[in-house]
Amino acid sequence: MRRSLFAWLAAAALAGCAGPAAGEWELVWEDDFEGCVDTASWSKIPRWHPEWAQKMSDDGRCYGLRDGNLILRAIANDDPADSAAYLTGGLYTKGKRAFHGGRLEVRARLHGARGAWPAIWLKPFEEERFPWPTGGEIDIMERLNHDTIVYQTVHSHYTHTLGMGDVPPHGATAPIRPDDYNVYGVELGPDSLVFSVNGRRSFAYPCIETDREGQYPFDKPYYLLVDMQLGGTWVGEIDPAEVPVEMEVDWVRYYRRKR
């Protein structure tokens, strides 16, 4: 059911409170990256035209497992046959595992570098049916350079094409422990998305009453992307002296609310 903006503002007053009690949720899937990467759930992200994906590679040096962590690296490219100056690693669950409703959390440590742009995000599972931005994009976490904050944002036809990014606000920032692990999360609801960092609610995006098209396309299955992006218009120039750089992913967990 769509909520009015007034009702959402009242609920948003609670946005700084801690997330729901653990007893409300049950774990239905997890990957702790012990021993191997589960290829039934994950694939390497291929290179393609969007700016964030222009350096994606299946080069084995961009991937690893260490101490129960998935390692995703950005490295300098030493292949003269490849025009990309750098190579980056990323995994996604596209075509393999979908998330619709529930609560998704990822525990990761992000190594800073000038030009580093690690991200944890969601795109529509039926992407051909719901192309960007119509199907929506949910950015659980994006970090730039050596920042001590992360960005949590949603994109849609309403926010991007119609330019309605402020009614309601479609993003926020949240502080992190920049040199340590943090847990990045989102609750996927039929009428709101609630973001968190380290179990504390940081931002909420509601479904509101509006005559504008495509304001809340998020009540559908999504797939997860986890990637070590590098360089671009938003993050800025890359410092070669700070590459290679990596992100360590300890685990991914998906919960459903107990009935």
Residues of the chain with pLDDT under 50: 1-20
Distance CA 103, CA 199 (A): 11
Distance CA 46, CA 147 (A): 27
What's the pLDDT at 22? 59
Distance CA 217, CA 133 (A): 10
The tokens describing 89, both together, are 């690693």
Residue 133 has, within 13 A of its CA and on its CB side, a CA count of 18
Domain ranges in the chain are 5-16+27-257
What's the pLDDT at 2? 43
DSSP the chain: --B-HHHHHHHHTTTTSB---GGGEEEEEEE---SS--TTT-EEPPP-SSGGGTTB---GGGEEEETTEEEEEEEE---TT---SEEE-EEE-TTT--B-SEEEEEEEEE---TTEEEEEEEEETTTTTS-TTTT-EEEEEE--TT-SEEEEEEE-IIIIIS---BTTB-EEEEE--TTSEEEEEEEE-SSEEEEEETTEEEEEEE-B--SSTTS---SS-EEEEEEEEE-BTTTB---GGG-SEEEEEEEEEEEEE--
What's the pLDDT at 259? 86
The distance in angstroms from the start CA to the end CA of the chain is 20
What's the pLDDT at 124? 98
Please give the CATH topology (third level) of the domain spanning 5-16+27-257: Jelly Rolls (2.60.120)
What's the pLDDT at 107? 98
